[in-house]
């Protein structure tokens, strides 16, 4: 098929790469054009705008940071909307507002007869590279089934979770778990270290039991190695937690643990760790456990 991919970042680049490897003709666009170079070298066709990608594609994927970015990609100058048409399917792999997602889909369907799936993903850059992402898709069941062969190139667990917007709601729940698991991972490693237990041994044992998690198994070793390179950045998780808390407020749902995690990730941003991986939360937990110093005023 002729596939478009807009947003060639930490996640978008390997996902577009996998679509290329599967034999599809892939047209790509990114605001920072140089990020497209590695994919261009292996056969992707770089376009000058989202509209240019859209006019050549049967299905257009997006993977950009926030709700406003998706709106700009679709409705901004030289955006998808300019070339949207009947038969086109837009698939959003971003993590954004469920309410805004429903509005984007409704307008594209009403004005352009264009179909829409919100299909956010989970599994980090490792899952994106390996094609083993979890994909939670919202939209018409028939459109989902039409696009399933493409989604199966990108992920190993693909679920239709409901109408448009349901994918983003499911992803909000996923990000809640990611934040709290990362906090548990950071605290557990710090407690082991402070108590004189080898945190590497602790992490290995706990990963095999009921206390294990994806965070401990995949990011615990990075904390121990002081490797804070981003597979998924703190800035992006903080944005996701804002969306989670907005959704909680909308449905009058109390999430005290998530609120605490949000504040700690905000502290990480304040300390300058926003562009680092989410495992850099461990540095905040370590800071909280440093010996107190006398502050002179």
Residue 252 falls in the annotated catalytic set: no
Of the residues 35, 112, 171, 222, only one is catalytic, namely 171
CA dihedral defined by 30, 31, 33, 34, rounded to 10 degrees?
-90
Residues in the chain: 297
| Contact between residue 262 and residue 241 where contact means Cβ atoms under 8 Å apart | yes
**CA distances (Å), 128 to each of 17, 31, 125, 147, in order?**
9, 21, 5, 18
Cα 112 to Cα 81: distance, rounded to the nearest angstrom: 8
**CA distances (Å), 31 to each of 38, 79, 231, 296, in order?**
15, 12, 20, 48
Cα 183 to Cα 256: distance, rounded to the nearest angstrom: 13
**CA distances (Å), 8 to each of 37, 79, 89, 248, 291, in order?**
10, 16, 19, 31, 43
Residues that are catalytic: 171
């Amino acid at each position: 098929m002729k596939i478009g991919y807009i947003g060639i970042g930490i996640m978008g680049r390997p996902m577009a790469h996998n679509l290329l490897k599967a034999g599809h003709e892939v047209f790509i666009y990114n605001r920072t054009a140089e990020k497209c170079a590695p994919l261009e070298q292996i056969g992707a066709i770089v376009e000058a705008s989202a509209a240019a990608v859209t006019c050549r594609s049967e299905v257009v994927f997006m993977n950009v940071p926030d709700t406003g970015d998706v709106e700009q990609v679709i409705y901004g100058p030289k955006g998808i909307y300019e070339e949207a048409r009947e038969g086109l399917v837009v698939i959003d792999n971003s993590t954004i507002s469920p309410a805004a997602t429903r509005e984007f889909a409704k307008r594209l369907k009403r004005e352009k007869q264009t179909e829409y799936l919100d299909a956010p993903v989970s599994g980090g850059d490792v899952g994106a590279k390996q094609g083993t992402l979890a994909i939670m898709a919202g939209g018409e069941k028939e459109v989902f089934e039409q696009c399933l062969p493409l989604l199966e190139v990108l992920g190993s667990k693909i679920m239709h979770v409901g109408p448009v917007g349901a994918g983003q709601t499911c992803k909000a729940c996923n990000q809640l778990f990611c934040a709290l698991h990362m906090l548990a991972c950071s605290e557990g490693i710090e407690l082991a270290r402070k108590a004189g237990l080898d945190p590497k041994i602790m992490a290995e044992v706990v990963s095999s039991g009921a206390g294990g998690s994806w965070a401990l198994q995949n990011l615990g070793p990075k904390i121990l190695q002081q490797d804070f390179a981003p597979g998924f950045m703190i800035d992006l998780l903080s944005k996701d937690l804002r969306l989670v808390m907005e959704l909680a407020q909308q449905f009058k749902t109390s999430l005290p643990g998530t609120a605490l995690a949000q504040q700690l990730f905000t502290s990480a941003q304040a300390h300058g760790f926003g562009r680092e991986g989410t495992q850099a939360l461990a540095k905040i937990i370590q800071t909280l456990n440093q010996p107190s110093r006398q502050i002179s005023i």
